[in-house]
């Protein structure tokens, strides 16, 4: 499924002293199969944008087409979110959303029940026990947990990293085609971060064709994403592949954004007269640096 | 959705009423409620309503916002009024026609009942509007400062005034935080297909469990964290604490006080010398 947004705007608390323009004329396309990154400052509108993708935030009814002349477009696959008749349940089944600190949404007595929650909700009719069990088992195993060991445990007894996996399993159990994650690795240790990221790659190959990740961690973005959108003050500033984007280290720094460690090193080396042309993943950077070293010696 | 809850939310504009001393505003509220309950006739209640209208105008709060506070208790008010229409007895006659309009077993509708219900509705509305006006125009911090200051005499009998004020300010401070949290959890569960807005009452109660449990957990976690943070900064109660903002009465407060005194005096006089008794 393709995500297309054109001229999308969103104002919180309109017509009151608290009015905030969260999105301002955002146009963005995410192709099927992408690992799409969204970066930006706190309050730049990235979370607001992703919440539009499965209809948790809806376009104001005054903007609905037909009533007023408006050029807002927001489609996810065949779902037209500017229309009133959209089946949001069907949409949410196919667009999975993992919020920040998803472990805070765990509630059931056992891991099994928590993961099964979404599956039962989206099922057309009550699923049979066997079918439910297969789905839950698959979801728990794909996030890298031992089904037999955790299925009857209370989710509150697990470690932080395990809780997060259970929460992600609870979202992907319906095998959504698009998976949207808001800061999936926040608050985890470096190993946990790497594990979550490799989990996402695994998911992209098998279950969810498109992955959209909101993140603060530029290293994460540089390593994993196919394209990156930069949000500032509700607007989209750039949409570029990381290899192009992080060439603009200075512009990004001006926007108050961090750059990956590799980009910082490239810039520092450039100042000393060594130009390294890499795609800003650690692997490529190391290889290029070593190659340069080989040239010199 | 939850962002629409307006009762008890501060409305940040600069106005005469916003600048009043919070202690006076609390006293004003208490005095005003007393006046509402002393009022025995429509004219007296009308006087109260006029004063309130005046206060709203000077607080520069949009009228719709004030009415939203009323919306929250509309059901309660109507319920009370309906009960009263059916059960209030009295043989007073206000317009041409029989005193008892309709009767069936223990239910009866009388002219007195209808008039009394109308009176009750007006009284409850005034009550809610004036209390929400206080929270619209006073920040939670200055509200608790005011309460603490007003309760100071109770310290003589070792009543933990400061602790009480602290509990209140923490509770008030956490309302918006928990509201946001609820919103977030609701969104997360909705994204997992939870159906929170439809179905019968039993179904809805069941549907709320996935929201309530994470919310409770997070409330406890936050309480723990706050307690630890206060300990870490050596918080040890109200003794020897000074205030950043000292409360002072000004000419505005005097003016408001005079208005309140006049209102209460007027209502009391009307109680003893009714103009149009009910």
- In tens, the pLDDT along B221-259 reads 999 999 999 999 988 876 777 777 777 788 888 888 888
**CB contact at 8 A, A138 and A115:** no
Q: Does B192 touch chain A (CB under 8 A)?
A: yes
The answer to whether residue A64 scores a pLDDT higher than 60 is: no
Among B3, B188, B193, whose Cβ lies nearest the Cβ of A105?
A: B188
DSSP string across chain B: -GGG--TT-------TTTTS-HHHHHHHHHHHHHHHHH--SHHHHHHHHHHHHHHHHHHT--HHHHHHHHHHHHHHHHHHHHHHHHH-------SSS-SEEEEETTEEEEHHHHHHHHHHHHHHHHHHHHHHHHHHHS-HHHHHHHHHHHHGGGGGGT--HHHHHHHHHHHHHHHHHHHHHHHHHHHHHHHTT---S-S-HHHHHHHHHHHHHHHHHHHHHHHHHHHHHHHHTT---STT---SS-----HHHHHHHHHHHHHHHHHHHHHHS-SS--
What is the Cα–Cα distance from A124 to B93, expressed in whole angstroms? 62
pLDDT digits (tens, 9 = 90+) for A145-194: 999 999 899 999 988 888 999 999 999 998 999 999 998 888 888 888 88
* Residue A63, pLDDT score: 52
Contact call for B188 and A106, based on CB within 8 A: no
* Residue A178, pLDDT score: 92
The answer to whether residue B1 scores a pLDDT higher than 50 is: no
Inter-helix orientation angle A261-271/A282-296, to 10°: 30
What is the Cα–Cα distance from B207 to B192, expressed in whole angstroms? 12
Q: Does B61 touch chain A (CB under 8 A)?
A: no
Stated pTM of the model = 0.73
Which of B177, B188, B192 should we substitute to test contact with A (largest number of A Cβ atoms within 10 Å)? B192
Grouping H, G, I as helix, E, B as strand and the rest as coil, residue A52 is: helix
Contact call for A105 and B3, based on CB within 8 A: no
List C-alpha distances in Å: B63 to A13, B19, B108, B123: 17, 19, 37, 18
Contact call for A13 and B209, based on CB within 8 A: no
Q: Does B190 touch chain A (CB under 8 A)?
A: yes
What is the Cα–Cα distance from A116 to A173, expressed in whole angstroms? 7
The answer to whether residue A85 scores a pLDDT higher than 80 is: no
Contact call for A92 and B12, based on CB within 8 A: no
- Two tokens at B13? 């504009």
Nearest CA in chain A to B219: A104
Neighboring chain A residues of B187 at a CB cutoff of 8 Å: 51, 56, 99
pLDDT digits (tens, 9 = 90+) for B163-175: 888 888 888 778 8
* Residue B224, pLDDT score: 94
What is the Cα–Cα distance from B208 to B92, expressed in whole angstroms? 49
Q: Does A242 touch chain B (CB under 8 A)?
A: no
Rounded to two decimals, the ipTM of the complex is: 0.84
Identify the weakest region by mean pLDDT among A91-105, A213-227, B100-114, B171-185. Answer: B100-114
* Residue B106, pLDDT score: 77
Which residue's structure tokens are 């600190």?
A101
Identify the weakest region by mean pLDDT among B104-108, B214-218, B228-232. Answer: B104-108
**CB contact at 8 A, A212 and A50:** yes
Of A55, A69, A56, which Cα lies nearest the Cα of A7? A69
Contact call for A17 and B214, based on CB within 8 A: no
What is the Cα–Cα distance from A271 to A249, expressed in whole angstroms? 13
Q: Does B216 touch chain A (CB under 8 A)?
A: no
Q: Nearest-5° angle of CA A206, CA A212, CA A216?
A: 125
Among B3, B191, B211, whose Cβ lies nearest the Cβ of A97?
A: B191
**Bigger pLDDT: A132 vs B90:** A132
**Bigger pLDDT: A136 vs B204:** A136
Contact call for A92 and B190, based on CB within 8 A: yes
Contact call for A99 and B190, based on CB within 8 A: no
What is the Cα–Cα distance from B59 to B69, expressed in whole angstroms? 15
The answer to whether residue A112 scores a pLDDT higher than 90 is: yes
């Amino acid at each position: 499924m393709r995500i297309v947004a054109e001229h999308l705007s969103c104002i919180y608390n309109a017509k009151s002293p608290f009015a905030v323009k969260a999105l301002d004329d955002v146009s963005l396309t995410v192709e099927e199969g992408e690992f799409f990154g969204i970066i930006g400052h706190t309050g730049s509108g990235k979370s607001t944008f992703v919440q539009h993708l499965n209809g948790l935030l809806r376009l104001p009814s005054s903007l609905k087409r037909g009533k007023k002349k408006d050029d807002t477009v927001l489609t996810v696959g065949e779902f037209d979110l500017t229309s009133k008749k959209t089946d949001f349940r069907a949409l949410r089944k196919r667009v999975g959303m993992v919020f920040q600190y998803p472990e805070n949404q765990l509630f059931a007595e056992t891991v099994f029940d928590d993961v099964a929650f979404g599956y039962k909700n989206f099922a057309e009719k009550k699923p049979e026990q066997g079918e439910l069990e297969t789905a839950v088992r698959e979801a728990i195993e794909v996030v890298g947990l031992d089904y037999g060991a955790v299925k009857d445990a209370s989710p509150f007894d697990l470690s932080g990293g395990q809780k997060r996996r259970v929460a992600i399993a609870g979202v992907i159990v319906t095998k959504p085609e698009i998976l949207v994650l808001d800061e999936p690795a926040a608050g985890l240790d470096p190993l946990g971060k790497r594990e979550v990221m490799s989990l996402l790659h695994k998911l992209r190959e098998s279950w969810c064709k498109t992955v959209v990740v909101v993140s603060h961690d530029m290293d994460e973005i540089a390593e994993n994403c196919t394209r990156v959108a930069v949000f500032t003050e509700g607007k989209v500033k750039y949409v570029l592949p990381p290899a192009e984007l992080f060439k603009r280290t200075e512009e990004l720094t001006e926007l108050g954004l961090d750059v990956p460690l590799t980009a910082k090193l490239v810039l520092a080396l450039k100042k000393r007269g060594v130009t390294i042309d890499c795609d800003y993943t650690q692997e490529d950077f190391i290889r290029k640096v070593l190659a340069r070293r080989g040239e010199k010696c | 959705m939850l962002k629409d809850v307006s009762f008890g939310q501060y409305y940040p504009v600069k106005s005469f009423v916003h600048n009043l001393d919070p202690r006076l505003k609390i006293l004003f509220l208490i005095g005003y409620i007393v006046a509402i309950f002393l009022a025995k006739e429509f004219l007296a209640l009308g006087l109260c309503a006029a004063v309130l209208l005046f206060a709203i105008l000077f607080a520069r709060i949009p009228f719709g916002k004030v009415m939203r506070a009323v919306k929250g208790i509309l059901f309660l008010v109507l319920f009370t009024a309906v009960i009263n229409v059916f059960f209030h007895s009295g043989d007073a006659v206000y317009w041409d026609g029989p005193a008892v309009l309709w009767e069936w077993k223990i239910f009866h509708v009388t002219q007195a009942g209808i008039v009394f219900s109308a009176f009750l509705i007006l009284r409850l509305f005034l009550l809610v509007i004036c209390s929400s006006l206080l929270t619209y125009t006073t920040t939670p911090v200055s509200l608790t400062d005011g309460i603490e200051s007003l309760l100071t005499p109770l310290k003589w009998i070792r009543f933990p005034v400061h602790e009480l004020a602290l509990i209140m300010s923490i509770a008030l401070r956490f309302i918006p935080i928990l509201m946001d949290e609820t919103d977030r959890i609701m969104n997360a569960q909705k994204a997992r297909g939870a159906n929170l807005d439809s179905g019968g009452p039993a179904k809805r109660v069941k549907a709320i469990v996935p929201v309530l449990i994470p919310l409770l957990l997070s409330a406890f976690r936050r309480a723990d964290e706050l307690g630890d943070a206060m300990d870490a900064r050596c918080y040890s109660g109200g003794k020897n604490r000074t205030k950043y903002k000292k409360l002072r009465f000004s000419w505005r407060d005097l003016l408001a006080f005079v208005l309140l005194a006049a209102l209460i005096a007027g209502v009391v006089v009307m109680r003893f010398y009714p103009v149009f008794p009910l």
